Structure 1
Amino acid sequence: MTVSERIGALQRIMKQKNVDIYIVPTADFHQSEYVGEHFKMRKFLTGFSGSAGTAVFTQDDACLWVDGRYFIQAARQIEGTPVRLMKMGEPHVPTIPQFLEDTLPEGGVIGFDGRCVSLGDGTCYEEIAAKKNGRVSYGEDLADSIWEDRPARSKEPVWELDLAYAGEDRKSKLARIREAMKESGADCHILTTLDDICWTLNIRGNDIEFFPLVLSYAVITMDRMDLYVNGAKFSDALKERLGADGVVFHPYNDIYEDVKRLPGDGTVLIDPVRLNYALCRNIPEEVRRVEARNPEILFKAVKNETEIANIKKAQLKDSIAHVKFMKWVKENYDKEEITEMSASAKLDEFRAQQGGFIRPSFEPIVSYGEHGAIVHYTSSPETDVKLEGGSFLLTDTGAGFCEGSTDITRTYALGRVSDKMKEHFTLVAVSNLSLASAKFLYGATGMTMDMLARKPFWDRDMNFNHGTGHGVGYLLNIHEPPTGFRWQYRAGETQPFEAGMIVTDEPGVYLEGEYGIRLENELLTCKGVQNEYGQFMYYETITYIPMDLDAILPEMMTQEERDLLNAYHSAVYEKLSPHLDEEETEWLRRYTRAV
């Protein structure tokens, strides 16, 4: 079936079921940012494959909301289909709630699969329907019957993260969670977010491509943790160890009936942003609810000493691999046929040589020339192009090592590039270094700090249409809340930086039809001086890869900016040269020279 035929089939079902508007988000039943093949219904219906976006269908219309990362990609992928692109944040583009209010007829019905919609969003839809004397219908996946060859849910085995990598055992983590429950007055805590559950239990799996997560739900009380999961994926030995720590196994879907039996005199802690609407609606009305952010969110964002030491090892491994790759691609792009996809495979080959490499930590973005302007581009056999001189190669990739996950972006000049390209590259480098060098008082948030990255752009009446950085999980989600760099206010994204948080620093320039540039390092948040003014904080850069001097214009930089670049390159050489052979070391010396 074509996209047009799929949408037509869905709209016929909507008419049969008397559903006026049907919403299909990206999420699975656990509000995951990235989902397994079984849950990619939005992609199936619209053809858009990006990791974020929401499709909204009426009985005679189809719309797709995406943010700035996906404007170009979405436009290309839905071309020739009935889907209309809604560019979030752009003038005259309504938000989804505004569209629903304007479009829903009096007495109308808004439909969605309640397992794939958060409580917060579902409640919003419910309120909009009520204004029109209508209702929501959330108990059915209307499009399931259309997807005849829908992939099954993953049955991949679960493995345990050793204490040498986790740095804290399950009992300790559960004790901290239960203390947070007490502080909120709750005696029960429902978890549906996969990274929170995997972090708590020190388990990992393979249920979502690139992300070592396990499809599961959990209910934590003061004396046990009920785990709803496909138990066949666990070895008997791991089940026994989990059982010794108070974990009780149940079939994956049983949670929907079990929460109906929660004691009426109890109090349950739930996160309305992360708990799905259908599950929440099954909690008895008499049960008191405390709505707050999952305590696991902040616990896992602040890395312990063991995790930090391991992550630095992973970063060193990946930095070595990147330097070997950088040398290889710059020396060979014009001597042999190298494409986006073969370059991506070569980078992973260098990673595997470092030992402990599990797999990429997210879908790799390796883009040449004009493809680099597509922020979340993914090369495919249909789009794969040969690398040539005169443009940029952008690689935004990550590795899952036993010691942790990485997320690194570099842009390489292949051959001679124009002065305009060098000016933009230098701008991105200055932005990256300006943010990384920040010293700030405790209490600052990503909204505060993002100005340091944006100022070089805003001074030139320029901008980039994505956040400047995000938290990074430890062999979990590569995008990890609650911290990051973003100049615009978003509810729930005003967490002050804590020592031990790891965040990316990744400004960029994107010219559609020409090229893209992005430079991304990971930063470790550290405590600095404490005095009468308060606790000062700073960032330690833990990614060590040259910023391509072939694309830098030193005369465009202030002396302070050149000093920052030279200091960074000096650290790169010091960290990596002991791990390289003589030829590689000499090459690195040239690409980390002072400017």
Structure 2
Amino acid sequence: MENQVIQNRLQALREAMRAAGIDYYMIPTADFHNSEYVSDYFKVREYFCNFSGSNGTLVIWQEGAGLWTDGRYFIQAEKELEGTSVTLYRMREEGVPTITEFLEQNMKQGQTLGFDGRVIPAQSGKEYEKKFADKQISIVYDKDLAEGIWTDRPAFPAGKVTVLDEQIAGKSFEEKRGQVLEKLEKEGADAFLLTKLDDLMWLFNIRGCDVECNPVAMSYGYLTKDRTVLFIRKSALDEGVTAYLAAKGIEVEEYGDVVEYLKALSGEGKVLVDERHCSYGLYKTVAEKQTLVEKKNPTELLKAIKNPVELANMEKMYLKDSLALTKFIHWLKKNIGKTEITEITAADKLEEFRREIPEFLGLSFPTIGGYKANAAMMHYEATPESHAVLAPEGLFLVDSGGQYLGATTDVTRTIVLGPVSDEIKRHYTAVAAGMLQMTNARWLHGCTGRNLDILARQPVWNMGLDYKCGTGHGVGYILNVHEGPQGLSWQYVEGRPEAVIEEGMDVTNEPGIYVEGSHGIRIENVMVAKNDVKNEYGQFMHFETLTWVPIDMEAIDEKYMTETQRAFLYKYQREVYEKLSPYLDDEEKAWLLKETRADGTVILKN
């Protein structure tokens, strides 16, 4: 069935391309800061192809269009692209070209590639320059072709900004600025252009609301040893925030004036720019006059290593968040089959439990609640038009999290609602075993997530299965739910940065199995890396768990577990009961005792 609305929009875009002399036009999922999630104003790719996932790039030419996205979204993209005439290119699948390879193969000598240079990272723009030089392909990067077509485009975001108290932040702006200046000096830079929104929020100890679920404000920062300039929408600042910035000696300029400010710089000194996050357009502006030091943002690593105040608050808030999810699981199991519960009403009920927590600020991402086959889509989102009614059978996967004054949480549990097949039990047991093996990892300092990923993936790989995503990502502190540079992923990808796992870094642990048309299973905890024993071999490390939610024993078949895996399972379940039971009523406590098997009915071999 044709999607005429999308086809009409693409036709209008092709006409605009012809008028601008552009042969191929590229639309990524990004704002002016290369953010993972974006405000409605920046959802240009979705407007032109209907795909709503958080990662994907649309390429349009006169004869066709293609969408490139990763394995998390293959099933979703297939559905959403139906009837649009847009071809799905499954990234990193065998025989599928990358966008660059596709353009190299299809663009002719002397043609023109166009994109809005404000939403393409400098790293990508530079790659296109280099790759297409031989074909004398021109790059036009000053055209946002959506402007004349998307007539009812949402307003540019300018939400209220708030100050994060130093007692919650753990470090003052001055302390953080001092750390950044030290790093700049080591890199031989005199100034720093910071464009990454979560890093800006961390540095200035402020928070915004310009992106749904992500407490960030559209902004830029420019630092030297003598001055700090914050470019931000002044209309978003109240008297209190304005006074705070003034007291810290921070000069405030209008967000839209950043280009003119950079153009007016004297051209003396060296400016550190992170080409992964700085837009191609802004990069070109700075490069005209300044000498660039192209290095990673020093703020990224400083932010990723949580300070003692942050870690203490996270531990407290993750326990409260775990309690909310556990109460929800009890409610769901108690009420399934007795009253109508849908994927949407279940998500709403879970949010109700979170809202009872005094420090709750909002969700950290839209809840993913997938029943049966819907859970096979890793980033599925139920809508009023399309959702499932839960029944007392099969699995319900719920991936959710909250923003709190003291933490950002991310947790997934796959809940048994009734009878499940032996195959599902085998899959569930493998996922639980992998998650627990990662939980109990011991390693030498110097390892990256690529060294550790096999621990979670091994039980899944042993069955000849896999999940098309990493095992884990960093989580922000009252910030974005996905944070770098740390992560857990087995695959080497050229150009993808890897980070040594340092003490104080948090990371999710979320193996899974996704069977299209049948079921999806994911179990996710958040952990913090800690130093362990140090000896002649080096500094050993381990993880400490932050998430304490029971694993559903109804889907565990212990014959598929080793003795060590069983020991890991019952140790975790006992700790869940010990930590949560003091906060439960008698009925909930009795249920959790049975749910975790912490009642002594299982005697483990020592």
Q: Where does structure 1 lack aligned partners over 5 or more consecutive residues?
A: none
SS of 2:544 mapped into structure 1: strand
Which residue is 1:530 aligned to? 534
Q: Tell me if structure 2 keeps the 8 A contact 1:297–1:481.
A: yes
Instruction: Pick one of 422, 434, 437 that aligns with 1:434.
Output: 437
Q: Tell me if structure 1 keeps the 8 A contact 2:265–2:289.
A: no
Q: Does 1:269 align with 2:272?
A: yes
C-alpha separation between the residues in 1 aligned to 2:73 and 2:52? 10
Q: Does 1:63 align with 2:99?
A: no
Instruction: Pick one of 363, 386, 391 that aligns with 2:389.
Output: 386
Which residue is 1:30 aligned to? 33
Offset of residue 284 of structure 1: 4.6
SS of 1:164 mapped into structure 2: helix
Map 1:89-168 onto structure 2 (within 5 A): 89-168=92-171
Which residue is 2:491 aligned to? 488
Offset of residue 492 of structure 1: 4.2
C-alpha separation between the residues in 1 aligned to 2:68 and 2:252? 38
C-alpha separation between the residues in 1 aligned to 2:145 and 2:421? 52
Partner AA of 1:272 in structure 2:
E
Instruction: Pick one of 517, 524, 527 that aligns with 1:520.
Output: 524
Which residue is 1:570 aligned to? 574
Offset of residue 285 of structure 1: 3.4
Instruction: Pick one of 361, 364, 368 that aligns with 2:367.
Output: 364
Q: Does 1:179 align with 2:200?
A: no
TM-score by length of 1: 0.99
C-alpha separation between the residues in 1 aligned to 2:400 and 2:497? 24
Q: Tell me if structure 2 keeps the 8 A contact 1:262–1:284.
A: no
Which residue is 1:590 aligned to? 594
CA RMSD of aligned residues (A): 1.0
SS of 1:517 mapped into structure 2: strand
Q: Tell me if structure 2 keeps the 8 A contact 1:368–1:387.
A: yes
Map 1:144-543 onto structure 2 (within 5 A): 144-490=147-493, 491-543=495-547
Q: Tell me if structure 1 keeps the 8 A contact 2:118–2:279.
A: yes
Q: Tell me if structure 1 keeps the 8 A contact 2:365–2:401.
A: yes
C-alpha separation between the residues in 2 aligned to 1:148 and 1:585? 56
SS of 1:462 mapped into structure 2: coil
TM-score by length of 2: 0.97
Which residue is 2:16 aligned to? 13
Ranges of 4+ aligned residues in structure 1 off by more than 6 Å? none
Q: Tell me if structure 2 keeps the 8 A contact 1:484–1:493.
A: no
Which residue is 1:544 aligned to? 548
Offset of residue 236 of structure 1: 1.6
SS of 1:283 mapped into structure 2: helix
Q: Tell me if structure 1 keeps the 8 A contact 2:158–2:218.
A: no
C-alpha separation between the residues in 2 aligned to 1:286 and 1:209? 36
Deviations along 1:244-277, one digit per CA (max 9) or x if unpaired, are: 2121111111111111122222100000101000
C-alpha separation between the residues in 2 aligned to 1:277 and 1:200? 23
Instruction: Pick one of 2, 5, 12 that aligns with 1:2.
Output: 5
Q: Does 1:77 align with 2:86?
A: no
Deviations along 1:531-584, one digit per CA (max 9) or x if unpaired, are: 000000000111000000111111221111110000001110111011111111
Which residue is 1:43 aligned to? 46
Q: Does 1:580 align with 2:584?
A: yes
C-alpha separation between the residues in 2 aligned to 1:258 and 1:354? 44
Offset of residue 444 of structure 1: 0.5
SS of 1:123 mapped into structure 2: helix
Offset of residue 286 of structure 1: 4.6
Offset of residue 155 of structure 1: 2.5
**Which of 132-141 and 31-40 deviates more?**
132-141
C-alpha separation between the residues in 1 aligned to 2:230 and 2:41? 21
C-alpha separation between the residues in 2 aligned to 1:210 and 1:25? 20
Q: Tell me if structure 2 keeps the 8 A contact 1:264–1:284.
A: no
Q: Tell me if structure 2 keeps the 8 A contact 1:13–1:142.
A: yes
Deviations along 1:107-134, one digit per CA (max 9) or x if unpaired, are: 0111000000000001112223322112
SS of 1:470 mapped into structure 2: strand
Q: Tell me if structure 1 keeps the 8 A contact 2:460–2:513.
A: no
SS of 2:436 mapped into structure 1: helix
Q: Tell me if structure 2 keeps the 8 A contact 1:527–1:537.
A: yes
C-alpha separation between the residues in 2 aligned to 1:192 and 1:220? 12
SS of 1:131 mapped into structure 2: coil
C-alpha separation between the residues in 1 aligned to 2:298 and 2:48? 35
Q: Tell me if structure 2 keeps the 8 A contact 1:223–1:246.
A: no
Deviations along 1:504-554, one digit per CA (max 9) or x if unpaired, are: 000001111111000000011000000000000000111000000111111
Partner AA of 1:545 in structure 2:
V
Residues 284, 260 of structure 1: alpha-carbon distance in 2 compared, 3 angstrom cutoff: farther
Offset of residue 205 of structure 1: 1.0
SS of 2:11 mapped into structure 1: helix
C-alpha separation between the residues in 2 aligned to 1:133 and 1:464? 40
